[in-house]
Structure 1
């Protein structure tokens, strides 16, 4: 029997919201949102421009489940669901454990800006198991920089063809 039935949500919930890892990178790309979107959703060709991806299995489309294989952890697949999909604007890949014990949310945003597009990738890991699981997550700072630079070079080259 819980003597203080109302203390748990008020004490634990705010604490859980502060347990997170947050990585991001952004760049401005001189290409159309359509060109960038086509590249971001073309799973078989990620290896043409994204240096940390070994392969992506599945179709990058609304509600689809895909598996990402990365050089950062080559022995395992990262299953994600395309949980949000607004063509030319925003895409979200989500993964995690039941009950929010651990969650990873990767967001891609495209914002038109003076004839170019500002692209941002952000991943937030959260959940009560993050202190344990977080030790196995590599620092994503450099890989995210490589991601946006590879995307920029590939999109701008395609735009000039």
Structure 2
């Protein structure tokens, strides 16, 4: 199994971070790596995700929502665009955001993607843009959640 993971401490409540994270229609205003999400953060639903670094063509795919627990965790199945038919032994992935409360009232946002299966073992690269993309997304979300004047959802 391979994992890409970036954590960011945000000086905002889990409620605020969740509100920004799940306000999908506003992503084009601030997000770079995950450029657009269509759908709702609802366990069992589906999202249409457009992601990738700004300097490369984006990947667009339909992802089942594995968990959407408000203020705690949002996770979807990671898929290879155009290859949703792959058996789990070949490729399995989970993209997730975990929100942990900090003692000072802030939030630790952990943004990670787990990959397993044959394709994950054969490849030494993660998602396009990998760590830099995850870091850029977390930083943009942090800026949005910490400053109510940024057009945040709360």
State the distance in 2 between where 1:39 and 1:47 align: 12
Mapped pair 1:110 → 2:91:
no
TM-score (norm 1): 0.76
Other-structure match for 1:23: 4
Q: Measure, in 2, the Cα distance between the counterparts of 1:143 and 1:129.
A: 21
Displacement of 1:85 after TM fit?
1.7
Q: 8 Å contact 1:65–1:79 — kept in the other structure?
A: yes
Contact 2:41 2:74 in 1 (8 A): no
Greater Rg, structure 1 or structure 2?
1
Aligned equivalents of 2:18, 2:126: Cα separation in 1: 30
List runs of 5+ in structure 2 lacking aligned partners.
80-85
RMSD: 2.4
How far, CA to CA, are the matches of 2:26 and 2:149 in structure 1? 16
Candidates 50, 64, 73, aligned match of 1:81: 64
The size of the alignment, in residue pairs, is 142
> What is the TM-score with the length of structure 2 in the denominator?
0.79
Q: Which has the higher helix share?
A: 1
Q: Does 1:90 align with 2:73?
A: yes
